[in-house]
Amino acid sequence: MARLSRGRKKVEIVKMKNESNMQVTFSKHRAGLFKKASELCTLCGAEIAIVVFSPGKANKVYSFGHPSVELLVDRFLGRDLPLRNDDDRHNHLIRAQRNSGQRGLNKEVMDMQESF
């Protein structure tokens, strides 16, 4: 059959209304995000952890992590951070709480790194 697609259209970055379309977009963008992350890992030897909660009723969880989500997250939440250069503008209060010892579970988190 004749292809009728006129190619990609511009999409405004606002919450989508169409549910089924949104599901497709969510899948595609999630895959793209994880791919970008893995490229950044490979190209620059960075260590990345990503956790994604899908919206709506089917609140599924997807994750990407190199070397592992848990390891990186523990290091993030732990205390021996070499330096915090935080682009996250939303959780200053929570971070302050955490840093003051709220967690009380983190002990020594091995720091292993290098290439990949």
Partner DNA sequence: CCGTCTATGATTAGTCC
Partner DNA sequence: GGGACTAATCATAGACG
Residues that bind a second copy (CB under 8 A): 11, 13-16, 22, 25-26, 29-34, 36-37, 39-40, 42-56, 58-73, 75-77, 81-88, 90-91, 94-95, 98, 113, 115-116
Q: Which is nearer to a second copy, 82 or 101 (CB)?
A: 82
Instruction: Write the CB contacts of 34 (distance below 8 Å, at least 6 apart in sequence).
Output: 50, 62, 64
Measured from the Cβ of residue 66, the count of other Cβ atoms closer than 10 Å reads: 19
Kindly tell me which of 2 and 53 has the beta carbon lying closer to a second copy. Answer: 53
Token look-up 């205390």 returns: 79
Q: Which residues from 30-69 bind DNA, rule CB under 7 A?
A: 31-33, 35-36, 39
**CB nearer DNA, residue 33 or residue 69:** 33
Q: In whole angstroms, how close is the CB of 2 to a second copy at the nearest point? A: 30
Residue 61 main-chain phi, psi, to 5 deg: -120, 130
Distance CA 41, CA 94 (A): 28
